[in-house]
Amino acid sequence: MLGNYALSLYRTLSRHKLYAILNSLALALGLAVCLVLILVVRFETSFDRWIPDARNIYRIDRTDLVAGRAPYTEPSTQGVLLPVLQTDFPQMRASARLMDISSVVRSSGRQAYERTVFADPSIFDVFDLPFVAGSPRGALADLSSLVISQEMARKYFGTDQAIGKELTILVDGIPRNYRVTGVLKDLPPNTHLNLGLIARYSIDIFPQEKELMNRWGNDFLFTYVRLRSAADAAAMQQALPAFIDRRVTDDVDLPRSQHLKYRLVPLPSIHFADAKIQGAFKPGADPLFVAALGIMGVATLLIAISNYVSLATARSGMRAREVAVRKVVGATRRALILQFVAEAVVMALLSGLIGAALAEIAMPGVRVVLGEPVRLTYFGPDGVVLPLVLGCLIVGLISGLYPALVLSGFRPAAVLASARAPGGGRAGTRVREGLAIFQFAVAITLMICTSVVFVQMDYLRHVDVGFRRESLLVVRDTNTEDAAPKMAAMMDSLRRIPGVVSVAASTRRPATDTNLSRNGRRLDMPSINPTLTYELVSPGYFDTYGVRVVAGRPLGTAYRLDDLSGHKDLAYDLQTQINVVINEKAQRALGYPTAQAALSGRFSFGRRDDGRPMVATIVGVARDVRFLSPHQPADPQVYMEDTRLAGKGGFDPWSIAVRLDAADRAAVTRKLEQIWRAMVPTQPLRAESAQAALQPYYDPDARRGQLFAIGALLSAVIACLGLYGLAAFNTSRRFKEIGIRKTLGASTADVLRLLIGEFLRPVLWANVIAWPVAYLAMRWWLAGFDQRIDLNPAYFLVPSLAAVLVAVLTVAEQAVRVSRAEPSRALRYE
C-alpha cells in the first residue's frame, strides 16, 4: 500500500510541477529560516552551560542605588568583598576574583595589547576548564606563573606545548616576566569568559589597590563563587542584605543595604545579564531580542505551513476524482487520510533536505549579520539531523492533516456526478482566505518593524549626541606610567601636525563610562543635592569635542577661577571657588527650570585634596553628551578644567582627543603613530575615531534591523509563493466563468478588477492585524532609547502599500493572461 502511495505522490508531483516547486520551495524556505534562527537561539542560550557544574557557579553583580540616578549595576565588585564573604559563608565550595585588563605583551621583539586576566589561584576550582598542557593544580602557584590559551600559545610560540616558555607583560608600565605553567584548551565561542592569558592576582602586582582592599567604595574585580546547590544559592542571596548591613563599613550611604545590592547571577544567565551592563568580559545578548528571533523563526515556518495547507486544499478538487474512485474500489477514509498525510510528510522531508542546504549556504552571511560564530552541525550532540527529521515529521503531520481531512471527506457520488472539480466549498475558501490573511499579516508586521528600525538607526547615526563625532580621533591609555609624563609634550607635537585643528585631554572618552561622581548641594536650596558625575578637562576641550554650550560660556584660560590648578596660588580660603560648566541633565537635577536660570547658580561639590570644601559656580550649560549606548540616558555631569591635565605634576589624562580638519586622516594618523613611537616606545599606540569607538553600541540594533529586514523579505517571499499558487489554481478554475462574463460584455479591465480584487482582500485585511501589532511592538522597542523617532503613519503606510503592490504583481501575470483569452476558448473548454 505504501508503495502505491509513493507512486501516486511521485506521479502527482511530476504532473503538476509548478505546484510541487512552489510548495516545496516555500516549505524549504520556511524550514531554513526556522532552522537558522533556532540555531541562533540555541547558541545564545547555550552560553557557559558546557562548563562542569555550571548551574552552581555564580558571578556576584553589584547595584548602586543613589538618589537622583537610575540604579547602576556592574559585573564587578569590591576587592574586599570575597575575603569577607569567605568568612561569613563557609558553605561556598570555591570562589575566586578576576581582573580583566588590557596589557602590553612582549615576546621575541614584538609587542601587542592583549586582554590579560589576573585571578586568584582558586579560579580553576571555580571553573573546571580543560588543559592541553600542564594541570590546573598549582598552575598559578606563584606570581610568575602564567596560564595561556592554545591560541595564545600558537600566536607567541607556534605550538600548544608551551610549558616553560616565557613572556613579558607590562603591568601598570612595569615589565614583569612570566613563565607558562599551563595551556588551556581554547574555549568554545559560547562563553562569556575571555581567558587568553591568566596570571595570578596579587596586591604586590597592583600596589595602588592596597588601599582599596579595605574600602567598599570601589569595584574592580569580578567575583565568582561556586556553591553546592540551588538551595545554598537561595539562602545566600537572602542573607546578603543583612551581610551588607553587618560588614560594609564605609563609602555607602546608610542604610547600606538600601543603597548597595548584590545579586548572585547564575553562570548560564550571565550572557543575557551582560546585555544591559557595562564592563563585562564580552557584550551580552538581549534576551528579548533572542526571543524575538525565535518567534520570527516559528512565525516564518507557520507561514510556510499555512501555504502548504492553503495550496493543498485549493488543489484538492484536482484529486477529487481520484479520491472518489479510490473510495469506490474500497478505500476507507482512514486509508485516504494516511495516504495524504504521508504525502505531506514526504514533501516536508524533501523540503527539509532543501531547507538544510539553504541554511548551510546562508550560514556565513548569518554569522556576519549576527556577529556570532553560529555553526550548523549535522551529527553529534549538537547535530541537527535528528531534530530536523523530527521537525519535518511534525510539520508534515500538521500541514497534511487538514487537507487530508478535506480530501478524504469528498463524497464519491457527488464528485462523480459533478462535471466540475470541487474547490472545498465556502468553508474551504474561508480557510484559505484566513491563511492568506495570517501570512500577509506576519509579513507586513515584519516589514513595518523593519522600516521603523531602519529609520531609528539612521536617526541615531545622525542625531546630535552632544559632540561632533566625525573627524575626531581619540587616543587612549594615555595615563599609564610610561605614557603619562609625555602627554604634555605629545599634545604640543600633535598640535603642530598639518590637518590637526585642536587637541584636548580629559578623564573620559567615547565608549567609556565615568565613575567619578560627587554629591552637589545647592547653596540657596540645600534640600536639592543630587549626585553628579564630573569630568576633568584640559583647555580647548569644548572646541575639540565640539560640545555646544547652550547658555553662558565654555571654560577657558582667560578666567582664573575656571582653572582648578589656578588655586595653588590663592591664599588659604575657607572655601575653594571653582567655575564649572554643567550639562542639561545636571541643570534639571539641580532644579533649574532653564539653562539661563542656572547661570551663576552655586552649589557645594565635595572637597579638594587638602580637605577644603569646594563651591562651584555655574558659568555655562552644555548639551548632554552621549559617550555610550543610545539606550542609556546621559548622566548629570559637571565639567571642571585643569591646566595641569597632562602638564608637569598634573592629573594624568585618560585620553587625548584630536580634532581634524578635512585633511588626509590617514596621513595624520601615520604622523601620530610616528610621534607616539618616538615618545612612548614601550607601549603600542591605541587610537581610533570617535565613530569607530561608538560603533559597538549601535551595532547590535543595526544587526537587529538587518535581521528583521531579512525576516520580512523571506516571509513576504513565502507568502507570495503561496499567493501565486492560489492565483494559478483559482484562475484556471474560473476560466469558463470568465468566458461567460466576457460573452456578456465584460471588458478585460473588468475581469482584471474581479480577479485581482479577490486576492487583494486578504492583503488588505492583513493590515488590520499587522498595524496594531507592529505599533505596540515598536512603541515598546523605541521606549528603550533615550533619543528616538516618533511613530509616523508613513512607516505603516509604505510597507502596506508595498505588500499590496507585491501581491498585485504576483497575481497580475495570470490574471492578465486569463482575462485576455477569447471567450470561445473558455466556453469550449468544458
Partner 1 sequence: MIVLADIHRLFRSDEVETTALREIDLAIEEGEFVAIMGPSGCGKSTLLNTLGMIDKPTRGRYLFRGQEVTDLDEAALARMRRDNLGFVFQSFNLIDELTIAENVELGLVYRRWAGKDRRARVEAALDRVGVAHRARHYPHQLSGGQQQRAAIARAIVGQPSLILADEPTGNLDSENGEQVMEILKSLNREGATIVMVTHSPAHADLAKRVVSMLDGRIVVSARRAA
How, if at all, do strands 145-149 and 174-184 pair?
Answer: parallel
* Three-class SS state of 378: coil
How, if at all, do strands 637-641 and 472-476 pair?
Answer: unpaired
Grid cell in block for residue 490: 605629545
Whole-angstrom Cα distance, residue 684 to residue 676?
Answer: 8
Grid cell in block for residue 250: 564605609
Q: Are 687 and 476 in contact (CB under 8 A)?
A: yes
Residues 6+ apart with CB under 8 A from 736: 826, 827, 829, 830
Q: Are 141 and 112 in contact (CB under 8 A)?
A: no
Minimum CB separation from partner 1 for residue 14, in Å?
A: 8
CB half-sphere exposure, 696, CA atoms < 13 A? 14
Q: Are 634 and 566 in contact (CB under 8 A)?
A: no
Measured from the CB atom, the residue of 45 and 339 that comes closer to partner 1 is 339
Whole-angstrom Cα distance, residue 627 to residue 148?
Answer: 33
User: Quick one: which of 104, 164, 107, 157 has its CA closest to 134?
Assistant: 164
Task: Find out whether the peptide bond into 255 is cis, omega within 30 degrees of 0.
Answer: yes
- CA-CA distances (angstroms) from residue 748 to 156, 739, 822? 76, 11, 10
Minimum CB separation from partner 1 for residue 409, in Å?
A: 10
Q: Given the C-alpha cell 502548504, which residue does it identify?
A: 308
Minimum CB separation from partner 1 for residue 365, in Å?
A: 40
Minimum CB separation from partner 1 for residue 24, in Å?
A: 18
Minimum CB separation from partner 1 for residue 284, in Å?
A: 56
Measured from the CB atom, the residue of 24 and 103 that comes closer to partner 1 is 24
| Residue 798: burial class (beta carbons within 10 Å; 0-12, 13-18, 19+) | middle
Q: Given the C-alpha cell 507561514, which residue does it identify?
A: 303
Total Cβ atoms within 10 A of residue 623 = 19
Q: In this structure, which amino acid lies at residue 49?
A: R
Minimum CB separation from partner 1 for residue 324, in Å?
A: 7
Minimum CB separation from partner 1 for residue 5, in Å?
A: 10
CB half-sphere exposure, 808, CA atoms < 13 A? 11
Whole-angstrom Cα distance, residue 639 to residue 641?
Answer: 7
Minimum CB separation from partner 1 for residue 8, in Å?
A: 6
User: Quick one: which of 829, 716, 703, 692 has its CA closest to 770?
Assistant: 716
Grid cell in block for residue 378: 549535522
Rounded to 5°, angle at Cα 213 from 212 and 216: 70
Minimum CB separation from partner 1 for residue 346, in Å?
A: 15
DSSP string, 555-604: --TT-GGGBGGGGGGSPP-SSEEEEEEEEHHHHHHTT-SSHHHHTT-EEE
How, if at all, do strands 110-119 and 197-200 pair?
Answer: parallel
Q: Given the C-alpha cell 504583481, which residue does it identify?
A: 809
First to last CA, the chain: 34
Minimum CB separation from partner 1 for residue 418, in Å?
A: 11
| Residue 764: burial class (beta carbons within 10 Å; 0-12, 13-18, 19+) | middle
Whole-angstrom Cα distance, residue 526 to residue 670?
Answer: 52
Instruction: Say how many residues make up the chain.
Output: 830
Grid cell in block for residue 738: 470568465
Minimum CB separation from partner 1 for residue 15, in Å?
A: 6
Whole-angstrom Cα distance, residue 742 to residue 674?
Answer: 83
Minimum CB separation from partner 1 for residue 403, in Å?
A: 17
DSSP string, 699-746: HHHHHHHHHHHHHHHHHHHHHHHHHHHHHHHHHHHTHHHHHHHHHTT-
For residue 195, which phi and psi values (nearest 5 degrees)? -120, 70
Minimum CB separation from partner 1 for residue 17, in Å?
A: 13
Measured from the CB atom, the residue of 417 and 749 that comes closer to partner 1 is 417
How, if at all, do strands 531-537 and 517-519 pair?
Answer: antiparallel
Minimum CB separation from partner 1 for residue 429, in Å?
A: 15
User: Quick one: which of 674, 670, 639 has its CA closest to 563?
Assistant: 639
Whole-angstrom Cα distance, residue 9 to residue 23?
Answer: 14
Measured from the CB atom, the residue of 12 and 144 that comes closer to partner 1 is 12
**What residue ranges bind partner 1 (CB under 8 A)?**
1, 4, 7-8, 11-12, 15, 321-322, 324-335, 411-413, 416-417
Minimum CB separation from partner 1 for residue 814, in Å?
A: 23
Measured from the CB atom, the residue of 35 and 415 that comes closer to partner 1 is 415
Measured from the CB atom, the residue of 324 and 532 that comes closer to partner 1 is 324
Minimum CB separation from partner 1 for residue 417, in Å?
A: 6
Measured from the CB atom, the residue of 315 and 327 that comes closer to partner 1 is 327
Minimum CB separation from partner 1 for residue 405, in Å?
A: 13
Q: Given the C-alpha cell 567615547, which residue does it identify?
A: 510
Minimum CB separation from partner 1 for residue 763, in Å?
A: 29
Longest CA–CA separation in the chain, Å? 115
